[in-house]
Amino acid sequence: MEFRHESVLREECIEALNIKEEGTYVDGTIGGAGHAVKVCERLSGRGRLVGIDRDEEAIAAATDRLILYKDRVTILRGSYRELPALLAGEGIRQADGILLDLGVSSYQLDNADRGFTYREDAPLDMRMDRRQALSAYEVVNTYGEEKLYQIIRAYGEERYAGRIAAHICSAREKSPIRTTGELTEIIRSSIPAKARRTGGHPAKRTFQAIRIEVNGELDTLEESLDPCIDLLSDGGRLCVITFHSLEDRIVKNCFRRNESPCTCPPEFPVCVCGKKPKGVVITRKPILPSEEETERNPRAKSAKLRVFEKRNPDSPKAD
């Protein structure tokens, strides 16, 4: 199956990165290189792009798509959580822009064998990096009921998390739950018929929750944003595309904290904590896809782009 993925907010991202011809840029979730190819088009031969992804099939697709720019492109397999070490290994100490597109690729969703989708029956997997041991099969078949409930409730924001966790544990006592189809039917039977008629596919939120757990998505995001900001050169920008409220909240709070880090009580006349801003939030409100884009690509509907610009304390404040 060909690796296909339509990158969302592509033109908006390129504009937000404020690309310099000789700059160094990082695509921490390169996927099929939809954003990366647009970055490369704006780089001179002295510019550089580093692309990173956990998925070996994404690495192969990006390498092929960027072949015309191989003189300025380095593609590495890994997680953006490892960004400081990966860049150091390439002799890079700072970047002029970093992009993180947190969405699951269309290829991963459409390729049933990867086990991300509830629309086709396939082995439970959901690993973005197939080298890791933990898959959806282990989560569904070995996690205790309380832990399953917590994951489905927190990561899926699923109202019926308790019922779903209980039904999963009851079903697996008879035999292991091996496929996405089996899991989907268990979830469906856990939700009252009236509730199933609204709010989209009944398995959507639970599948999201399990996928987040398998890939450590929220922990990776929380642990990576501050190091990404630290890697930026003065005036460099971090652009992050999120696809659900949990991710967006983490990004928004991190950007605000780095812009206004002071922890002094409000009644103090001057700051004594010594914490200095690292930059400014460029997007007071997130950038959303146009109506035209969402009509062309419905998966873009929930996307939000937030942008942070690194600023040394003595630099003038952005408009």
Domain 129-215 top-level CATH class:
mainly alpha
User: In angstroms, rounded to a whole number, what is the distance separating the alpha carbons of residues 197 and 179?
Assistant: 24
Distance, CA of 248 to chain centre: 10
Q: What is the pLDDT of residue 4?
A: 56
Q: How far is CA 139 from CA 136, 148, 151, 202, 257, in A?
A: 5, 8, 10, 19, 33
Compute CA distances 112 → 67, 107, 180, whole Å.
28, 9, 9
pTM listed for this prediction: 0.91
Annotated domain spans of the chain: 10-107+217-310, 129-215
pLDDT at 5: 59
pLDDT score for 319: 44
Per-position pLDDT tens, the chain of length 319: 555 557 899 999 999 999 999 999 999 999 999 999 999 999 999 999 999 999 999 999 999 999 999 999 999 999 999 999 999 999 999 999 999 999 787 777 778 889 999 999 999 999 999 999 999 999 999 999 999 999 999 999 999 999 999 999 999 999 999 999 999 999 999 999 888 888 789 999 999 999 999 999 999 999 999 999 999 999 999 999 999 999 999 999 999 999 998 888 888 888 888 889 999 999 999 999 999 999 999 889 999 999 999 998 765 554 4
Residue range 10-107+217-310, CATH number = 3.40.50.150
